[in-house]
Every structure is written in structure tokens, then in C-alpha cells.
Amino acid sequence: MKSVSVVWFKRDLRLRDHAALHAAWKSGQPVLLVYCVEQEFLNHPDTAARHLRFVVQSLAQMRVELEPYGHTVYEFSGGIDDLLHYLLQQGYQPQLFSHQETGLWTTYQRDLRVQQWCTDHGVVWTEFPTNGIIRGLKERSRWEATWRKRVEQEPFPAVHAELVPFDGASDRMLHTGLLAAHAASLPEDGDARLFQPGGEAAGWAYLNSFVRDRLRTYRRSISKPQAARRGCSRLSPYLAWGNLTVRQVMHALADADPPWRQDLQFFVSRLHWHCHFIQKFESECRLEWENLNTGFDAIRNEVRPDWLEAWCDGKTGFPMIDASMRSVCATGYLNFRMRSMLVSFLTHHLWQPWQAGVHHLAQQFLDFEPGIHYPQFQMQAGTMGVNTLRIYNPVKQAEENDPDGSFLRQWLPELAELPLPFLREPWKMTELEMLSYGVRLGLDYPNRIVDHEEAARKAREFLWGTKRSPAARSQVGQILARHVSARKNAKRRGGQG
Ligand SMILES: Cc1cc2nc3c(=O)[nH]c(=O)nc-3n(C[C@H](O)[C@H](O)[C@H](O)COP(=O)(O)OP(=O)(O)OC[C@H]3O[C@@H](n4cnc5c(N)ncnc54)[C@H](O)[C@@H]3O)c2cc1C
């Protein structure tokens, strides 16, 4: 039997700092590089055409780099176990290399299936950790030290120029345009030019311009939806789809040694959060569908389809909410504060279960990363029971983070002519004012669907009541031990006296 090392690409679409690729190269065997086009991914309610486009762009770039060395990344329609089976039938002895994916329930189930198949067929599958995530971690005491150690290690060197080619790729089984064809068959998902392009080169371009220049305005841009587009790193899609690793970013920062120390510190803490949140999901995958603190199960059980639709379409009648939603739908990006505000509005003001809106935003975020998305959604919805409850006032957010109204005007052209106070609170216009500005509420722009102050007051009451309930309080200790580091936990206890 001839040996072959199969490198299975998933959310690790790069050729550098790639532990699995490095190990396959070290095996000295011919190497087959493959991306599986899986129905579970294509059909998942979190997947959108914009994600496929990003993956297609990332694969295309890898192919350009591999081509001079006689390699490519093949695409296989189906599960990796089907491909391994085929290789066995063709007389090959495959060995499988991949990264550990902290994915959705479907990818977890797939991994269990692949593991079982490998065991049954005597195929060795070696998985490598992703960034600072520790598989099977039950409590957090070791986590910080491991994170630091991992991100400080030297990145793996690029080895793609030295791989031994695999000559058994059959045209019948392995292709290079499957995902692109599928993506092309889907309805248009926005104007591609408004989205960040996928691929390692684009990721490095964003990283380099950030560490050399854009970092200097990081702190003052982070909460502002327009300034953040330039002042934040915009690395999230590249980290989410694995064009870059956190380690590469940390090393680029160390090499550049930027002088803006406070901005740098702020940014590094976000990189840390990247892994911290994914670790929560890795340790507790039920976060995908149920409240982390089940003491919150009794509230917000009814969906109002008309309100949900208004929220999804950016037609709630609250300009800051609608502009944020429209901008993320059109460009795939929104800064952290506005993401939080959208979830706060959905779950607190509209009193909808977070599950009702989680897939819609997953589809909009180009950087959709299940390990951050689900825990963040629950945190903003207040269903973890261990964080401070935040109910963002959309009018105040507009005043503070879009002081000149340019973000609102960009995304709500129907309100562009309004003076600032009415631009933020159009419901305060009288009939006469509507006439003079040429904006008819209910026709040109929706009436607001709730009274936000009254809704926030009610939500606060319910949420605090639930947070203090014995059912919710009884779970706090266990949640803290599992998801918060020992140091932060001690500080927290100290803070609570
Ligand atoms: C409801 C909700 C859902 C979110 N879903 C995602 C998601 O699917 N994918 C995703 O990458 N981020 C998500 N975030 C976190 C955050 O909003 C984005 O990471 C950030 O806005 C991306 O822009 P940036 O790369 O310019 O970030 P920067 O501010 O430049 O931060 C650098 C990197 O740090 C990480 N990071 C930054 N903020 C956070 C945070 N609050 N929590 C965890 N990691 C963080 C990201 O990897 C980011 O790329 C979500 C936040 C909320 C409130």
C-alpha cells in the first residue's frame, strides 16, 4: 500500500503557521491537500453566500501560491471519511492531519463520526490545537498560562514549497471549483466590492497597515461605527476563517513594536478575548441552543414575527438600530458596540429570545465565528447570569457614537435631510415638521415599534428579578469556575465584598 498524508483544511485557510501542514510535510510522504464541501455547512442556518465567497477567495489564493510547486488544494464533495474510504479502496494508506475545530454542533458530530471511522479503519488522525484553545478543558485555572505560551511560540514556517506531490488525485473525485459553482448558484449576497476579500495576502495587508499606522486611533475609534471601520484592525474575518493565527498577529505586533502603548494593550486584550470566548464554546457547546444559565429559561419564550422581521430588515423605526443592521447586511462588518446594541435591542427592548435572532446576525457577519458569536450573543442577552446587564439606549448610542449623524445619514437616506435631533428620534416630529422636512413617518420611514424607555424599564425589572432568583443564583459558582479564570474569579469575589 502507498502512503499518503491528507491535510484537511477547514477554518484554517492558510499556508503559514499551519501545524497540520507542517506535520504532513515532516511525514516525508506524498501530501494531498483537501477542502471538503460539506452539505452540513452549506445548509446550516448560520451560513450565507458571503461566507462561501470568502472561503472561495481564500482557497483561490492558496492555489496561486501552490501552483509553482505542482500542488493545489482540492475540493471534495462530501465528508473527509468518504474521501479516506475512497483512498483506501484505491490502495492508499492515508494518514489524516487537521486542526481542532471549535465548531457548531454539526461539525462536532461530524468530527465524532470521522474519529469513529478512523478508529474502525486503522487510519491515524492527528489534530492540532487552534490558537489558545484547549480541548476538553473543564476549568480555567491553567488556561491563561497556556494561552500565553502558545501565542509566544514561534509560528510554524511555510513548507508548501517542499511538499512531496501526491500523484493519485482522480478528476472524478477531486475538483477545484465546487464551492465557487455552488456560491455562484445562490442569490446575490450584496455587492462583493463592499466586503473584505478573503485570503492570507489580504489578511496580512490589514495586519500590516494596522500595526504600522491604524492602531494609533484604535481606542478612540472602537465604539464608533464609522471610525471603527478604519481604526479597528478588521482582522476578524481573517482570524475566523484561519487566514491568520492569533500567534502571527502577536508576533507582528512584537516585531513592529508600535509606540501607542495603551492602544496596543487594548488590542492585545481583544486578541485574548478572541480565544477566551471560543474556549467557553469549546467547553460548553450547548451554548448554541440553550441559555448558559438555565435560570433564565422561564423568560422571553414568545417570538413576535413582525418585530423580528422589522429588526432583521432594519425597519424598527429606531435610526441607530436600523442603520447598524443595514450597514452589516450590506458590508458584513459592524463594530462591537453596535453588535451589542442590536442584540440588546432584540432581547431587552423587543423581549425576544436570543435564539430568534442569532442565525440572522451569523449570516450577516463576514467574520462569523461560532465560538465568539454564541457566547457574545448570550452575554449581551444577559442569559449567562454572571455579567453586568447592559441595556443600550439606541438614542444615547447615536448621540455618543455618531455625534454628527453621518452614519445615520449614510444608511438611512430617507432621513438624510432631517436635523440631528429628529434624525436620532424621528418620532418626536410633529405633523407640520414632517411636512416641512418631507419625511412621512409610517410611509417613508417606519414608526418606532416600541417605546424604548418603557421597554427598557420593564426588561431591567424582569432581568434583575430573574438574575436574583434562586434558580439563576445557584448556577453562578459553577459557571464562574468553568468559564472565568481563577484570577478574575478571585478579583470578582473581592469586588463583591
Ligand atoms: C453579538 C456579538 C456577536 C459577535 N460575533 C462575532 C463573530 O461571529 N466573530 C468575531 O470575530 N467576532 C464577533 N464579535 C466580537 C467583535 O464584535 C468582533 O470581533 C469585532 O467587532 C471585529 O472587528 P475587528 O477585527 O476590527 O476587531 P478589533 O477590535 O480590531 O479586535 C481584534 C480581534 O479581537 C477579537 N475580538 C475583538 N473584540 C472581541 C470581543 N468582544 N469578543 C471576542 N473577540 C473579540 C476578534 O478576533 C478581532 O478580530 C461579536 C460581538 C457581539 C456583541
The CA distances from residue 132 to 53, 270, 285, in Å, are 27, 13, 17
* pLDDT > 50? residue 418: yes
pLDDT, residue 489, reads 54
Closest residue (by CA) to atom 17 of ligand 1? 336
- Three-state secondary-structure class, residue 186: coil
pLDDT digits (tens, 9 = 90+) for 142-182: 888 999 999 999 999 999 999 999 988 877 889 999 999 99
360 lines ligand 1 (CB under 6 A): no
273 lines ligand 1 (CB under 6 A): yes
Average pLDDT over every residue of 430-438 = 97
The CA distances from residue 312 to 195, 307, 410, 454, in Å, are 19, 9, 18, 22
Closest residue (by CA) to atom 18 of ligand 1? 336
Instruction: Ligand 1, residue 342: give the atom nearest the CA.
Output: 1
pLDDT, residue 495, reads 34
pLDDT digits (tens, 9 = 90+) for 104-122: 999 999 999 999 999 999 9
pLDDT, residue 478, reads 86
pLDDT, residue 132, reads 87
Average pLDDT over every residue of 466-490 = 81
pLDDT, residue 482, reads 83
pLDDT digits (tens, 9 = 90+) for 201-225: 999 999 999 999 999 999 999 999 9
| pLDDT band at residue 494 under the 50/70/90 scheme | very low
Instruction: Ligand 1, residue 339: give the atom nearest the CA.
Output: 53
Q: For residue 39, report the phi and psi dihedrals to the nearest 5 degrees.
A: -60, -35
CATH number of 2-155+172-183: 3.40.50.620
pLDDT, residue 496, reads 30
Domain edges within the chain? 2-155+172-183, 200-286, 291-403+454-495
- Three-state secondary-structure class, residue 4: strand
Q: How far is the CA of 268 from the centre of ligand 1 (A)?
A: 12
Q: How far is the CA of 170 from the centre of ligand 1 (A)?
A: 40
| CA–CA dist 123, 125 (Å, integer) | 6
| CA–CA dist 426, 419 (Å, integer) | 10
Average pLDDT over every residue of 453-471 = 95
51 lines ligand 1 (CB under 6 A): no
pLDDT digits (tens, 9 = 90+) for 5-63: 999 999 999 999 999 999 999 999 999 999 999 999 999 999 999 999 999 999 999 99
Q: Which region holds residue 299: left if phi is over 0, alpha if psi is between -120 and 50, else beta?
A: beta
Average pLDDT over every residue of 430-455 = 98
| pLDDT band at residue 226 under the 50/70/90 scheme | very high
Instruction: Ligand 1, residue 370: give the atom nearest the CA.
Output: 8
Q: How far is the CA of 187 from the centre of ligand 1 (A)?
A: 27
Closest residue (by CA) to atom 24 of ligand 1? 234
Task: Report percent pLDDT > 90 for the chain.
Answer: 88
379 lines ligand 1 (CB under 6 A): no
367 lines ligand 1 (CB under 6 A): yes
pLDDT, residue 483, reads 83
20 lines ligand 1 (CB under 6 A): no
Question: How many C-beta atoms surround the C-beta of residue 187 within 10 A?
Answer: 5
| CA–CA dist 447, 426 (Å, integer) | 8
* pLDDT > 50? residue 375: yes
Tell me the average pLDDT of the chain.
94
Q: Retrieve residue 10's grid coordinates.
A: 477547514
Report which of 275, 271, 272 is spatially closest to residue 235, judged by C-alpha positions: 271
Closest residue (by CA) to atom 15 of ligand 1? 336
pLDDT digits (tens, 9 = 90+) for 316-362: 999 999 999 999 999 999 999 999 999 999 999 999 999 999 999 99
Per DSSP bridges, beta strands 174-175 and 74-77 are antiparallel
Estimate to the nearest angstrom the gap between the alpha carbon of 149 and the chain centroid: 24
Q: Dihedral of the CA atoms 308, 309, 313, 318 (nearest 10)?
A: -50
365 lines ligand 1 (CB under 6 A): yes
For a mutational test of ligand 1's pocket, the pick from 147, 151, 223, 236, i.e. the residue with the most ligand atoms closer than 8 A to its C-beta, is 236
pLDDT digits (tens, 9 = 90+) for 246-299: 999 999 999 999 999 999 999 999 999 999 999 999 988 999 999 999 999 999
For a mutational test of ligand 1's pocket, the pick from 342, 367, 384, i.e. the residue with the most ligand atoms closer than 8 A to its C-beta, is 367
For a mutational test of ligand 1's pocket, the pick from 207, 210, 372, i.e. the residue with the most ligand atoms closer than 8 A to its C-beta, is 372
373 lines ligand 1 (CB under 6 A): yes
pLDDT, residue 485, reads 65
pLDDT, residue 481, reads 84
What is the architecture of the domain spanning 291-403+454-495?
A: Orthogonal Bundle (1.10)
Closest residue (by CA) to atom 50 of ligand 1? 373
Closest residue (by CA) to atom 29 of ligand 1? 232
* pLDDT > 90? residue 493: no
240 lines ligand 1 (CB under 6 A): yes
| Sequence-separated (6 or more) residues with CB below 8 Å from residue 416 | 409
Q: How far is the CA of 380 from the centre of ligand 1 (A)?
A: 13
